[in-house]
Homo-oligomer: A and B are copies of this chain.
Amino acid sequence: MTEISKYGEFGLIKHLTKDLKTVQPSTQKSIGDDCAVMNFGKGQKASDVRVLMTTDMLLEGIHFNLEYVPLKHLGYKAAVVNFSDIYAMNGTPTQITVSLGISKRFSVEDIEALYGGIRLACERYNVDLVGGDTCASMTGLTISITCLGVANDKDIVYRNGAKLNDLICVSGNLGTAYMGLQLLERERLANAEQPDFSGKEYLLERQLKPEARRDILEALHKAGVKPTAMMDVSDGLSSELLHICTQSNVGCCVYEDKLPIDYEAAALAEEMNLNIVTCALNGGEDYELLFTCSLDDYEKLIPIEDLYIIGHITKPEYGCNLIGRNGEELALKAQGWNAFEQ
């Protein structure tokens, strides 16, 4: 018998889905990107609408700790992380289904709060809640959301389109959601009756109530820029860059001093003796957009607010590297975390 921790999450999925074939003519893109892509129209024109599909499961004790995550925030986040996957294909989220497994320790009011967060996210992002499944569970809370979206075929951005010399861009800032989690954990362990979050509200917000970067896509669209490859930063910048480079068969070079780091996050990292660059590379849950663009789009990218050029695409033989502040080269690794090892 083989322990699952031997494979880890990505390894296990790869192992289970290797040699998986598709037979439906409507399946345009299967496993391996932020979303699956379906073509249900009979025509094949590039202007035709395509249906995007993504799904995320959140389990109590693994993905969230109800000691400090309010149920309304949890519902909001559970929906938004799915929307983020649709935006990461340059699509628009349209419908979700919500399945809940609920143990006896939850009250109707608890589930109303959770649902309230999901509904609020749906309202803000114009998404319809169209179905689901609600059942009892033996222990804990389970949330499984599946999201549909739409995009014209010619607008869809996959992970595999990055080209030599493309610029590497990221929105917002990195590592902030992770520092928010560290803060919540610290205060939980300190068992403080009055946890001290003053001046650090932004970190909490990034961890507890992330937003999907629809605004960045709108700005890109307005500027006439279509990314060559894109995904959202859910597992950490290093891990996502490696996905794009592997699937595009290219290398990359990103610069430490270009990484967008929030001031509050950096201050807390110093206070807690953490390396904020490591947090930015491997922290995860930022739900920012990471994408590559043609060098020709440089002038169009510069005016876009909250968007940062952090490096460029190289030949594959160069590998994936971070250039440190003193010019030293460090190979990027997908540290992430292997929940199966815990």
Contact = CB atoms under 8 A, between A and B. Distances in A.
A1 interface: yes
A49 B57 contact: no
Nearest to A41: B41
How would you classify the secondary structure of chain A's contact residues: helix, strand, loop or mixed? mixed
A339 interface: yes
A128 B3 contact: no
Given A23-B126, A55-B99, 12 more contacts: A4-B111, A12-B134, A17-B129, A24-B127, A27-B94, A27-B130, A30-B131, A36-B95, A57-B142, A59-B101, A61-B137, A136-B339
A112 interface: yes
A140 interface: yes
A62 interface: yes
A6 interface: yes
B53 A95 contact: yes
Contact of A7 (B57, B59, B108): B108
B2 A109 contact: yes
Interface in A49-85: 49, 51, 53-57, 59-63
Interface of A: 1-7, 9, 12-13, 15-17, 20, 22-24, 26-27, 29-31, 35-36, 38, 40-42, 49, 51, 53-57, 59-63, 94-95, 97, 99-102, 104, 106-109, 111-112, 115, 119, 126-140, 142, 144, 146, 148, 150, 339-340, 342
B30 A128 contact: yes
A133 B2 contact: no
Contacts of A99: 55-57, 144
Contact of A101 (B6, B57, B111): B57
A30 B130 contact: yes
A51 B131 CA distance: 14
B31 A131 contact: yes
A163 to B, nearest CB: 26
A119 B42 contact: no
A24 B101 contact: no
A111 B27 contact: no
Contacts of A101: 57, 59, 62, 142
A79 to B, nearest CB: 14
B135 A31 contact: no
A60 B136 CA distance: 10
Given A7-B108, A24-B126, A136-B342, A131 B40 contact: no
B134 A13 contact: yes
Contacts of A342: 136
Nearest to A132: B55
Nearest to A142: B142
Contacts of A135: 9, 57, 59, 62-63, 339
